[in-house]
Structure 1
Amino acid sequence: MDGAEPAGGRWNLDADNREPPPRTAALGVPEPPKIVEDEIDEQVRADLDRWEREDGVTFLGRDGPRLFPATRREALARLNHFVEHRLPTFGRYEDAMLAGDPWMAHSLLPAPINLSLLDPIEVIHRAEDAHRAGDAPLASVEGFRPADPRPARLRLAPLLVLRAGLPPRQRTGRRRPRTPMVRRSRRRLG
């Protein structure tokens, strides 16, 4: 918000976010930072393999390098990469798809948000700050909505209204619950 008016003078920038993808195999944004696996990843794989062998558990999908962050450090690296390299391009092509580019300019942040490694408000503040610094167009920031495990999705416009006058605790409403598993893994993986 700019005072009582929406930033940029319009409430909705969807018309600016409907460009078809380029006629290339990929969008051309840099790849997100790779996840470096460690002994915990090896132990998890060993446990899963043992469960399949000994207990008859069957898993769907393929086991391979981890694609999503499991630590705060990895999540912050993904957030920094998104804000710097992907957010500026995101808006124009937010509804486009390319067969050779499964991620395009998307954030890849829903998993770390759902694991409580990133707070949605933190992510939205970073996107807003990038716009205010001139590093991301308003159409990209307005169209970007990080995933949120709460029932209602967070949208940028209402948050900008709230951010203006409320103390930090009230901006997010209530604190998101942290499951015991997430707390335990944070201590181990931190």
Structure 2
Amino acid sequence: MAIHITIDCFAALAMTRFFYGGSMKEYVWLFPIIFMFHDMEEIIGFKFFLRQNTVELQQRFPFILRRYKDFSTEGFALAVYEELILCIAISTIAYFIDSNFLWYIWLGAFLGCDLHFFIHLIQVSIYRRYIPACITSLICLPVNTLIICKCLLCIEDSAIFTGAFMALGAILVFVNIFIAQKLMGWFTKKTAN
């Protein structure tokens, strides 16, 4: 009986810690890991996908083909590398400086990554076929969402303060996507000559 009660207590503590305990510091390094896991699918499949689907993309989504058809895998990899550097920088600064506003920027960037996965799933539902990004988006979206929910439980500041810095982090991610795409185009042109 005592052993059973002890096991139940440990199970209850573990579940409480899983759903309510911890801090953002526990999850900080999952951001760059999840990001790279996802982006490897994009790097590996991007050019092949464009080659295999050129005709259909030209008919249904010509703006996508115009934008990406000339990009190289190397240019794409450089863009991902630049994004990874930002991801690691945000995570490192938040981890070592350990200030609430930096954690909220990190959480906002992580949320931006989560929204990026969601956008890929919308793209798949519109295109109705595999695109290089959908498998890892499907895997990472629930994991990211759970981590975000757990991190939100750690917040002790006002919603306005938290929301402002989270918005800053998410905006940083989305602005950087455009910078990375410009870098991808520049590098592709530079290496083509």
> What range describes the TM-score normalised by the shorter chain of this pair?
under 0.3
Query: What's the TM-score once normalised by structure 2's chain length?
Result: 0.26
Q: Mark the structure with the bigger radius of gyration.
A: 2
Structure with the larger RCO, 1 or 2 (CA within 8 Å, 6+ apart) = 2
Give the helix-richer structure, 1 or 2.
2
Query: What's the TM-score once normalised by structure 1's chain length?
Result: 0.27
